[in-house]
Amino acid sequence: EIVLTQSPGTLSLSPGESATLSCRATQTVTNTYLAWYQQKPGRAPRLLIFGASRRATGIPDRFSGSGSGTGFTLTISRLEPEDFAMYYCQQYGDLPGAFGQGTNVEIK
Amino acid sequence: QGQLVQSGPEVQKPGASLKVSCKASGFTFRNYYINWVRQAPGQGLEWVGWITPYNGNRNYAPKFQGRVTLTTDTSTSTAYMELKRLKSDDTAVYYCARPMNYGEPSDAFDIWGQGTMVSVSS
């Protein structure tokens, strides 16, 4: 079973700055089947990135994903006020599907 | 584009059972696996299992085996999750979610239900 570890747990930044979120897997993620989600309080997660680097429909280009194997990164350039939220990575290449524990991007 | 609408909040006692529904619209229900994911208060996301309406095949996360049953009703495009022998740590928001690609059980989830809050307390 693949376990995903996200870091840091909390990222305190100001609007306009860039955010770099990390997701590390205990085993190679098959076919780079790695997704990133944004979640705001009381809301369902929203898909941002799939296949490690492909933006989902309607996602602004300030969100970008990279990585392969066991290490993946979500970068948010020029943080907008609506970007402050929780972010989760998910691997879907092997069963059981797994999520990371999340990174909270908060306003500094 | 598609939508999943879930049933309302539930309050149950330990040992009881509950059944949450997830009604699909805007896409061909039979073609897509439906996954269930839960989130305990203040915690992360946890995959529960998936089912395909096409033939009823299902797969459960090991920790839920024996307590969870996923079903579908293709006549109403509705998926169901039944959880038995409830415990206090089953208190969570339960989401249904649709994978991006039809015919794929495990995939990135591009459509989510709004979530159903389940509270288990004596």
Residue pLDDT tens, chain A, 108 long = 899 999 999 999 999 999 999 999 999 999 999 999 999 999 999 999 999 999 999 999 999 999 999 999 999 999 999 999 999 999 999 888 899 999 999 999
From the CA of B61, how many Å to the nearest CA of chain A?
Answer: 6
Q: Does A27 touch chain B (CB under 8 A)?
A: no
Q: DSSP letter at A41?
A: T
Cβ neighbours of residue B91 closer than 8 Å, sequence gap 6 or more:
B40, B41, B118, B119, B120, B121
DSSP line for B91-118: -EEEEEEEESSTT-SSS-EEEE---EEE
Q: Does B36 touch chain A (CB under 8 A)?
A: no
From the CA of B37, how many Å to the nearest CA of chain A?
Answer: 10
Place B78 in a pLDDT band, splitting at 50, 70 and 90: very high
Mean pLDDT for the stretch of residues B30-55: 95
Helix (H, G, I), strand (E, B) or coil at A31: helix
Residue A54 pairs in a beta bridge with A50
Please check whether residue A73 is in contact with residue A21, taking contact to mean a CB–CB distance below 8 angstroms: yes
